[in-house]
Amino acid sequence: MEQTGHLRVPGATLYYEVRGSGPALLISQSGDGDANRSDDLVAQLVADHTVITYDRRGLSRSVLDTPGGKAGIAQHADDVHRLLAALTDEPVTMLGCSLGAVIGLHLAVTHPGRLTALVAHEPVAPWLLPGDERARHVRELVEIQDVHEREGLAATFAEIARVLGIDPHHQDTEPDLTPQPMTPRRAENFAFFVRNDFTAVVEDALDLAAVAALKDGGPRIVPAAGRTTPHAVFDHRCAEELAALVGADLVEFPGGHNGNTTHPRAYAATLRAITR
């Protein structure tokens, strides 16, 4: 099955795609990623999953009613809730990557019936960290916003790569990946992500007790991190803290922070193995 569509939600119109057949799997992308960010991964999954992807509000084809408007993490989670309600009556598995993982945690707490499981890959959630560490990483995010404002896109990419422990010149990847050039649309998405969603992450908070309670009667939370992500960087630390909070093992996925795009075949195999 292949389907594309638009859904009206408060303050925006969401674009979405549905591909494949089998149990439903929603992918909430990282950063500047829209519905097509993980196309290589989706291609590995559609034989046995109905894969739902979407453009987060403010990105690509998900147009805001008010240009320049903003959205917090709770609003993003409500968008996913409404999208799933429009597409299926059954709970689904969700893969959340980076920012998408934080959106998934909000959804699991506020609408637990929407999900059977959430694979939370390196959630960018400073509220999971101890106080001093949290403050340090919040400062990192604010400083990246300042770099973007002063020095533009190239400098921002370099700073994000440094903070996330990514060496863009020596990345291990699978062969024959679909090219992802920096198109004007992607550049616009990245700018919106830095301006809007960095602020949303900095201002975000979720009750730790409510997250911890998911282990006693909510969707299964699968904390995950990339095998090559340095353990000291904050997204790996957030995954570690989430694992401790929900009493689960931290699952390693192939690649690093962006393993869903750099290692789609192996990533799909790992995803299948832990969500059976």
- Digit-coded pLDDT (tens) for 157-198: 899 888 888 777 777 899 999 998 989 999 999 999 999 999
Strand pairing category for 12-20 and 50-54? antiparallel
pTM check: above 0.95 = yes
Q: Which two tokens stand for residue 242?
A: 């989430």
The strand ranges marked E within the chain are 2-9, 12-20, 24-28, 50-54, 63-64, 92-97, 115-121, 220-226, 251-253
| Residue 183: per-residue pLDDT | 93
Provide the 10 A C-beta neighbour count for residue 83: 20
Burial (CB count within 10 angstroms: exposed 0-12, middle 13-18, buried 19+), residue 168? exposed
- Digit-coded pLDDT (tens) for 27-36: 999 989 999 9
Radius of gyration of the chain from its Cα atoms, rounded to whole angstroms: 17
| Residue 254: per-residue pLDDT | 97
Q: From the DSSP assignment, how many helices (H) and strands (E) are in the chain? A: 11, 9
Tell me the residue type at 174: E
Q: Output the CA angle 220-113-250, nearest 5 degrees.
A: 15
In order along its 276 residues, the chain shows pLDDT tens digits of 799 999 999 999 999 999 999 999 999 999 899 999 999 999 999 999 999 999 999 999 999 999 888 899 999 999 999 999 999 999 999 999 999 999 999 999 999 999 999 999 999 999 999 999 999 999 999 999 999 999 998 899 899 888 888 777 777 899 999 998 989 999 999 999 999 999 999 999 999 999 999 999 899 999 999 999 999 999 999 999 999 999 999 999 999 999 999 999 999 999 999 998
* Cα atoms in the 13 Å half-sphere on the side-chain side of 211: 26
Tell me the residue type at 207: D
Provide the 10 A C-beta neighbour count for residue 151: 12
